[in-house]
Amino acid sequence: MPTFKELGLRAEIVQALDELGFENPTPIQEKAIPQVLDSKKDLIALAQTGTGKTAAFSLPVLQQLDENSREIQSIVLCPTRELCLQIANDMQSFAKFMNLKTVAVYGGASIEGQIRDIKRGAQVIIGTPGRTVDLINRRVLRLQDVQFVVLDEADEMLTMGFKDDLDLILGETPETKQTLLFSATMPTGIKDITKRYMKDPAEVSSGARNEGAQNIEHHYYLVNARDKYECLKRLADVNPNVYGIVFCRTRRETQEIADKLMADGYNADSLHGDLSQAQRD
Ligand code: AMP
């Protein structure tokens, strides 16, 4: 297995990865990092959350940015505010020993602070499509010097109806840019985007297409609806150190289960779209 240094990454980045405790590259990093460092070709990467995809696109992009220029040289687009903040935080830690600034722009938060941060100068913007379009229309975001565009969770962005926003944003970036598209699945909509916006792209994947993550064991239990909550508690009780996420179909169900768990003495909380942005953060 190669080291990060052997993949071609600079000492400042390798040192930051050391501090984060990243010892070896993950399979998608091993494939994507040298590809993006050595080639100007567009890239399609099939990778799910948990495969290390954020570092796979961030590291080779950060390495190629000009620290002496405060122009926007790279834009990362992703579907949600939460992911946007996570990518911004990750990139900031990868660039800890470099002189690079990142700004996250996403809806549901004041636009003024984001405008101020952009005006101070940043090499990297991480944005959700809606807010990014807003800032382009206000002539705050200028993308004519962008060299790298990353579309993260591209399939999710399409599902959430961001196609027109993506069209507009990509239209603002220069022809000469390199586009990196990361997606867990390859539905027809994504194939259309790759055909429209990417030239002869290279392809890498972290495993078989449309498959669950390899390092996760899946279990399921068949129970009656009325027994589901008791079953959930039983699972928590036999795994006292469990740290988990319960996904529910509706906001109300999410709240009810969290409330019941808290009333029953479990350390739980809810996360859903009826909560304010401050509560969700
Ligand atoms: P991602 O797929 O980008 O959401 O990353 C999943 C998790 O793996 C994150 O918590 C990363 O910090 C972590 N991670 C990514 N790459 C590595 C690596 N090479 N070694 C150890 N942890 C990693």
Q: Is 25 in the pocket of ligand 1 (CB under 6 A)?
A: yes
Structure tokens at 26: 């993950």
Q: Is 22 in the pocket of ligand 1 (CB under 6 A)?
A: yes
Least confident of 64-68, 168-172, 177-181, 249-253: 249-253
AA identity, residue 88: A
**pLDDT reported for residue 210:** 47
Beta bridge partners of 103: 125
Instruction: Answer yes or no: is pLDDT of 208 > 60.
Output: no
Q: What is the mean pLDDT of residues 253-264?
A: 95
**pLDDT reported for residue 241:** 86
Nearest CA, atom 22, ligand 1: 22
Residue 166, C-beta contacts closer than 8 angstroms, at least 6 positions apart: 77, 129, 151, 157, 193
Answer whether 135's CB lies under 8 Å from 114's CB.
yes
Nearest CA, atom 14, ligand 1: 52
Closest atom of ligand 1 to 25 CA is 19
Closest atom of ligand 1 to 22 CA is 20
Residues making up the chain, counted from first to last: 281
Question: Any alpha helices (H) in the chain, and if so which ranges?
Answer: 11-20, 27-38, 53-63, 81-94, 111-120, 129-137, 154-159, 163-172, 188-197, 228-238, 251-263, 277-280
User: Where is mean pLDDT largest: 63-67, 250-254, 268-272?
Assistant: 63-67
Geometric angle at alpha carbon 206, from 200 and 207, rounded to 5°: 110
Residue 165, C-beta contacts closer than 8 angstroms, at least 6 positions apart: 129, 130, 132, 133
Nearest CA, atom 15, ligand 1: 52
Q: What is the mean pLDDT of residues 233-259?
A: 92
Question: Chain-wide mean pLDDT for the chain?
Answer: 93
Can you say how many angstroms the Cα of residue 129 is from the centroid of all Cα atoms in its chain?
Answer: 13
- Give the side-chain half-sphere CA count within 13 A for 76: 32
Q: Is 52 in the pocket of ligand 1 (CB under 6 A)?
A: yes
At 197, the pLDDT band (50, 70, 90 cuts) reads: confident
Can you say how many angstroms the Cα of residue 157 is from the centroid of all Cα atoms in its chain?
Answer: 11
The span from the CA of 259 to the CA of 244, in Å, is 16
Instruction: Answer yes or no: is pLDDT of 176 > 90.
Output: yes
Q: Is 50 in the pocket of ligand 1 (CB under 6 A)?
A: yes
Instruction: Answer yes or no: is pLDDT of 207 > 80.
Output: no
At 212, the pLDDT band (50, 70, 90 cuts) reads: low
